[in-house]
Amino acid sequence: MFNRSRRNLASWFTLTMGSILIMFAAIVYYWEVIDKLEELDRLLYKKTSVMAANVKSELHNGQRQLDLEHVPLLGSMVQPLPDSQLVYASWYDEQKQLVQFFGTIPSDRLSISGGFDTIKTDSKVWLRQVTLPVYQNSLLIGYLQAAMPMTATENALAEFRMVLAISAPITLGVVALTGWWLGGLAMQPIRHNYDHLQRFTADASHELRSPLTAIISNAQYGFLSKTTDLEVQRQRFHKIFDVAKSMSTLVSNLLFLARYQGKLPTESLQVTDLNNLLVQIIDDYATQPDAQHLSLVSKLLNNSITVLGDADLLRQVVINLLNNSCKYTPAGGQVQLRLFTQSRWAVIQIIDNGIGIPEADLPYIFERFYRVDKKRSRQTGGFGLGLAIAQQIIQAHGGKISIKSVFQKGTTLEITLPLK
Amino acid sequence: MRILLVEDDLEQLEPLQGILSEAGYIVDAAEDGEIAQWLISQKNYDLLIVDWMLPTISGLSLCRQYRLSGKNAPVLMLTAKDTTADKVMGLDAGADDYLVKPADLVELLARVRALGRRVPNWQGYSLRIADLQLHLAELSVERSQVKVELSPREGQLLEYLMRHPNQVLTRNQIEDALWECGMEPESNALTVLIRKLRQRLQLLGAGDWIRTVYGMGYRLNPQESN
């Protein structure tokens, strides 16, 4: 599945970038063609202008006389232009009749009145031709037509095309490889999330199916069984009730986890005095059966420490963590609740000298459904969601939660929350 | 039929064990893989019902080891794992049947019956040896249109003997097969039970089918009616 998505991403990337590249190459080539043609035209124009400048027209007895003898290529009185590159040159009079020419034999009459053309000769060579109306004293004295072969321009353009033809596929290849690499990079967090979700779903479905199975089996056993003993039936109902109750806790925990993703909305945040909150929790908690077998010590501050938060959620976190600590601390042990500040943070610590957590389990301890000892947690009624919920609540408050533990020695849980 | 039921969740184990016992099976229950393994090494089971996710040894490796040890009783895997890949893995590990939780107990019982039918003398929901027929559902034994009711215990004894006809079965074997694990029978309990069953079969003219092999045990010796 992921490889297919990655391939898709890479091919779409290559297709898009490739189209942009080809469009870009086409535009660059188009501009190069225009540029080269303009260059050729300028050269041709320069040459024909030099020729035209040498045409002399004089009035002799009211008759206009044209002197083409001093015109390069056309006249005999001048040296031919060195490296003129002109294939032909022709002079037409103002009536567009041919007067004199050099090179191939042109038509007798000029059909156009001026401008640049591209023409193809019989020998299949492309020529650039210019037809220049020549004026003297604002009077049209004739037309000069000349042409240059386009071979040099064509060669330069062919070379440019070759460069594009080689570099474009190479670039496309690089783009494809980059696309594949970027696709992999983009897939990584998705794959990670997917694996996480898969594991979570598998765990959740297992955790939900177990109580469901217990409920269904007990109920079905109840009406399939032939026993008429009321006490036995009552016990069965009791079992169904217990299992359904624990399942309801699990479902509300799961819903809770689903509901509080991300930061809490600002309207639900209130100024909360942590000192007061912890004093209340300690007072309530001391009477709980979990806390009866050990000494619960609190080291709080005298002044108030305020944070922005949801007091109920924060209370739930602290009670959750206290529950854990008390549950896994043997009789006669000690659980400490401490509150202090550290620069701009409020720190709550819950320290116990209980059974601790093996080092190998520590990195996973905040994962949903993670249980160090499956059997023991089940017996104590845990689903492995308590720490995940605590972490989510603290993160939603912009705080952090961390754990330090030495196996068989004890555990320290630390919550840091930004001070108001 | 003797069943080993392996399930780590007590809440699920109890009703399963209850319904199977009420259906007339002898059920040993184990809460983890290690206990199940020990029980398998101690007793011969006719059927194993195994949960996949178990502490210590998983149901999957339990199933594999069971097959590797050469034992061939059917194994029914009962688990919450429901993907096709899981089912394939479970069946390939040696399970004969696969049931996804939450399973209907009625369906579970039907599957247990289906797996229990894998003995050669099975006919309908009854076992047949020569012209003697044991009806398992109504717990009665029939021969030549004469029917005699049996107590659950007598039924279980006759079922065990009929599943192993013509074999000499030691007292220990029979006691192992009939009494649940940890329930020690009194010294003469089996003798009394055999005597009761013989009396029942006597009514059908088959009282001498259960032979006592002196110093060894008992043997079901079917005789064709003349």
Whichever domain contains B157, its CATH number is 1.10.10.10
On whether both B78 and B113 belong to a single domain, the answer is yes
Assign A292 a pLDDT band (cuts: 50, 70, 90): confident
What is the count of residue pairs from A and B with beta carbons less than 8 Å apart?
69
Question: Is this prediction's ipTM beyond 0.90?
Answer: no
- In this complex, which of B14, B102, B105 lies closest to A212 when CB atoms are compared? B102
In terms of average pLDDT, the best of A91-100, B28-37, B175-184 is B28-37
Flag the least confident range among A71-75, A76-80, A181-185, B208-212: A76-80
Task: Mean pLDDT check: name the lowest of A195-199, A314-318, A379-383, B80-84.
Answer: A379-383
What pTM does this model have?
A: 0.59
pLDDT average, residue stretch A284-302: 80
Chain A contact set for B16 (CB, 8 A):
217, 221
Q: Over range A186-211, report the average pLDDT.
A: 84
Report the pLDDT value the prediction gives residue A378, as an integer from 0 to 100.
53
Inform me whether the C-beta atom of residue B15 falls under 8 Å from chain A C-beta atoms: yes
Last residue of a domain, one of B99, B117, B135: B117
Enumerate the β-bridge partners of residue A89. A102, A146
Tell me, yes or no, whether B73 and B141 share the same domain.
no
| % of chain B beyond a pLDDT of 70 | 97
User: For all residues of chain A together, what is the average pLDDT?
Assistant: 85
Q: Among residues A360, A370, A364, A366, which one has the least CA distance to residue A202?
A: A370
Among B91, B117, B143, give the residue marking a domain's end.
B117
At A187 the three-state DSSP class reads: helix
Check for a shared fold between A1-155 and A264-418. Answer: no
- Among the candidates B117, B143, B170, a domain finishes at B117
CATH of domain A1-155: 3.30.450.20
Per-residue pLDDT at A380: 54
How would residue A80 be classed by pLDDT, with cut points 50, 70 and 90?
A: low
User: What is the CATH classification number for the domain harbouring B37?
Assistant: 3.40.50.2300
Q: CB contact, 8 Å: A235 with chain B? A: no
Residue entry with tokens 């976190």: A317
Give the CATH superfamily of A264-418.
Histidine kinase-like ATPase, C-terminal domain (3.30.565.10)
B55 interfacial to chain A (CB closer than 8 Å) = yes
pLDDT for position A81: 63
Q: In this complex, which of B15, B18, B80 lies closest to A209 when CB atoms are compared?
A: B80
The minimal CB distance from A213 to the residues B19, B53, B102 is found for B102
- Indicate the number of domains in chain B: 2
In a domain, B112, yes or no: yes
Contact B105 A375 (CB under 8 A): no
B10, B68: one domain: yes
* Same domain (yes/no): B79, B31: yes
Closest CA to A140 of A110, A108, A118: A110
Per DSSP, what are the bridge partners of residue A411? Answer: A352, A405
- Rounded-to-integer distance, Cα A301 and Cα A289, Å: 27
Instruction: Flag whether residue A206 sits within 8 Å of chain B, measured between CB atoms.
Output: yes
Mean pLDDT across the stretch B150-161?
90
pLDDT band at B181 (very low <50, low <70, confident <90, very high): confident
- B226 assigned to some structural domain: no
Would you say residue B140 lies in a domain? yes
SS3 B135: strand
Q: How confident is the model at residue B77 (pLDDT cuts 50, 70, 90)?
A: very high
Assess whether the previous peptide bond of A169 is cis (omega < 30° from 0): no
Both structure tokens of B136? 């398992």
CA distances B75 to B5, B6, B14, B64, B99, Å, are 10, 11, 19, 10, 11
- Domain extent at residue B153: 126-220
Contacting residues of B for A224, CB less than 8 Å apart: 19, 22, 105-106
pLDDT at B226: 45
Would you list the domain boundaries of chain A? 1-155, 264-418
Q: Which of residues 133-162 of B touch A (CB under 8 A)?
A: none
- Residue pair B127/B119 in contact by the 8 Å Cβ criterion: yes
The whole-number pLDDT of residue B27 equals 92
Alpha helices in chain B (DSSP H): 10-22, 33-42, 59-68, 84-92, 105-116, 152-163, 171-178, 189-202
Confidence of residue B24 (pLDDT cuts 50, 70, 90): confident
Burial of A383 (0-12, 13-18, 19+ CB in 10 A): buried
Q: What is the mean pLDDT of residues A126-135?
A: 89
d(CA A400, CA A300): 20
- The reported pLDDT for the residue numbered A78 is 67
A77 pLDDT higher than 70: no
Asked whether the beta carbons of A310 and A264 are under 8 A apart, the reply is yes
User: Could you tell me if B179 and B215 lie in one domain?
Assistant: yes
- Say yes or no: B105 and B155 in one domain: no
pLDDT of A286 strictly over 70: yes
| B:87-116 residues touching chain A, CB 8 A cutoff | 101-106
Kindly list the distances between the CA atom of residue A73 and the CA atoms of A68, A89, A150, A171, in Å, as whole numbers in the listed order.
10, 7, 20, 49
